[in-house]
Structure 1
Amino acid sequence: MSRHYRLLPAVLLSLYPTLAAAQVLNVAFGESLEPYVMPQQASGIEVEIIREALRAEGLGMQPVFMAQKRLPLALKNPRIDAIATIRPDSGLKAAYSEPYVYYEDVAVTLRSRNLQLREVAELGKYSISAFPLATQYLGAEFARMAANNPRYGETGNQVDQNRLLYRHLIDVVVADQRIFKYMNQRVVSDFREVVQPVSYHLLFEKLPYRVAFRSAALRDRFNRGLATLNGNGLYQQILNRFQYADSVD
Structure 2
Amino acid sequence: MQCKAFAAPHKSIQLLAGISKPPFIMPGDTGMQIDIVKAAFAVSNYDVKFTHVPLSLHMRVYKRRDIDGLITLMDDKTELGLYLSQSYISYQNVVVTLAKNNLNIKQVSDLSKLRVAAFQNANLFLGDNYASVVSGANGYIEIADQKSQLALLFTDRVDAIIMDVNIFKYMLVELQNRKKYLNIYNKEVSIFPLFEQNNYVAGFNTIELKTLFDKGIADIKATGQYQKIVDSYLKTHPL
1:23 pairs, out of 12, 36, 53, with 12
| 113, 131, 151: which one aligns with 2:101 | 113
CA offsets, 1:146-203, max 9 Å, x none?
Answer: 3343543333322121112112222221112121111112323469322022111121
Matches within 5 A, 1:217-236: 217-236=208-227
| 1:155 to 1:60, Cα distance in 2 relative to 1, 3 A | farther
Q: Match of 1:99?
A: 87
Query: Any stretches of 5+ residues in structure 1 without a counterpart?
Result: 1-7
Residues 245 and 161 of structure 1: is their aligned pair in 2 closer, same or farther, counting only changes over 3 Å? farther
Q: Does 1:183 align with 2:171?
A: yes
Whether 1:204 aligns to 2:195 is yes
CA distance in 2, matches of 1:73, 1:133: 21
Q: Which TM-score applies when normalising by structure 1?
A: 0.79
Letter in structure 2 aligned against 1:162: L
The answer as to whether partners of 1:120 and 1:203 remain within 8 angstroms in 2 is yes
Q: Distance in 1 between matches of 2:9 and 2:128?
A: 49
Q: Is the CA contact 1:68–1:132 (under 8 Å) kept in the aligned structure 2? A: no
In 2, the alpha carbon distance for the partners of 1:191 and 1:208 equals 36
3-state DSSP of counterpart to 2:18: strand
Residue of structure 2 equivalent to 1:5: none
Tell me the CA shift for residue 108 of structure 1: 0.3
Distance of 2:37 and 2:57 partners within structure 1: 20
- How far the C-alpha of 1:73 sits from its partner, in A, is 4.9
Structure 2: where are the runs of 5+ without partners? none
Task: Output the CA distance in 1 between the equivalents of 2:70 and 2:180.
Answer: 35
TM-score by length of 2: 0.82
Percent of aligned positions with the same letter in both sequences?
25
Residue 39 of structure 2 is aligned to residue 48 of structure 1: no
SS at match of 2:215: helix
Count of residue pairs the alignment pairs up? 233
Q: Which runs of 4+ in 1 moved over 6 A?
A: none
Match of 1:61 among 7, 31, 48: 48
The answer to whether structure 1 residue 237 and structure 2 residue 228 are counterparts is: yes
Change (3 A) 1:121 1:69: farther
Match of 2:135 among 142, 147, 158: 147
Q: Aligned equivalents of 1:189 and 1:56: distance in 2?
A: 35
SS in 1 for 2:172: helix
In 2, the alpha carbon distance for the partners of 1:106 and 1:200 equals 7
SS, match of residue 192 in structure 1: helix
CA distance, structure 2, for counterparts of residue 175 and residue 72 of structure 1: 26
User: Distance between the aligned counterparts of 1:192 and 1:105, measured in 2?
Assistant: 28
Q: 1:31 touches 1:67 (CA, 8 Å); kept in 2?
A: no
CA contact (8 A) 1:109 1:172 kept: yes
- Give 1:157's aligned amino acid: D
Over aligned residue pairs, what C-alpha RMSD do you find? Answer: 2.9
Counterpart-to-counterpart distance in 2, 1:52 and 1:117: 38
